[in-house]
Structure 1
Amino acid sequence: MQLLVMVVDKEEDLDEIFEAFIDIGIKGVTVLDSYGSGHLFTENLSIFGKLSSIADGRKKHNKTIFSIIEDPEKLEEAIEVVENIVGDLNQPHTAVLFTVPLGIVRGLTN
């Protein structure tokens, strides 16, 4: 069982990713707004100005997606789906993707 974590750069890719996940049988997905340090360091604002603009919702943010996937084949399909939608993950402004092996997991429903 793996935790698939993706930080997707373009919010507009989310719907397509979710639809593709449903098509391959992945239904449990959690999404969080997130901010990368690259966005903070590329503008001429103080760190307090940058943080306050994030709090006000004026800054560009990413989406961090979590999904617990039991089947290794489904995991590979999910990764392929993401790469097909966002593009080559080795290119900037696409996504960052990684997995974490899970030990104890409780509270999942099918």
Structure 2
Amino acid sequence: MEVLIFVLNDPRDLEEIMVEFTNIGISGSTIIDTVGMANILSSCEDASMFSSLQLLLNKGRSSNKTVFTVLKKERIEQALEIINKVTGGLNGPGNGIAFTIPVNRVFGGSFQQN
């Protein structure tokens, strides 16, 4: 098992990703509102150059969505394909980031289905 964590810079893509996840049998994710470092620094007087950086990377948005999904290793690529399809690719500037972390033990939840 692994936890797939991805930061989605455009929250408008979230619903489509969740629907696509459901279509392939991924039925559980936890979603939290998050704010990136560039956004915090943009309001800091000592870091005024970050204001422009934040606007460029986040296209004027002040928050992100961070999604946590526990999956079997063989499901990770399917999930990443969906994320890349909907966002236009995480390699594009300001679209987001994804990574996985190995999971040793899970208690509760419906992860067995994923």
Aligned residues: percent identity?
A: 33
- Aligned-residue offset at 1:43: 4.1
The CA distance in 1 between the partners of 2:103 and 2:46, in whole Å, is 39
Unaligned runs of 5+ in 2: 48-60
The CA distance in 2 between the partners of 1:44 and 1:105, in whole Å, is 40
Unaligned runs of 5+ in 1: 48-58
From the two aligned structures, give the one with the greater helix fraction: 2
Q: 1:4 corresponds to which letter in structure 2?
A: L
1:48-73: CA deviations, max 9, x gaps? xxxxxxxxxxx710000000002x33
State yes or no: 1:25 paired with 2:25.
yes
Matched residue of 1:15: which SS?
A: helix
The aligned counterpart of 1:12 is 12
The CA distance in 1 between the partners of 2:34 and 2:17, in whole Å, is 17
Q: 1:97 corresponds to which letter in structure 2?
A: A
The aligned counterpart of 1:64 is 66
The CA distance in 2 between the partners of 1:19 and 1:45, in whole Å, is 41
- Aligned-residue offset at 1:4: 0.4
Which has the larger displacement, 14-23 or 81-90? 81-90
1:76-103: CA deviations, max 9, x gaps? 1000000001122122221110000100
Cα root mean square deviation, aligned: 1.9
State yes or no: 1:90 paired with 2:84.
no
The CA distance in 2 between the partners of 1:68 and 1:13, in whole Å, is 20
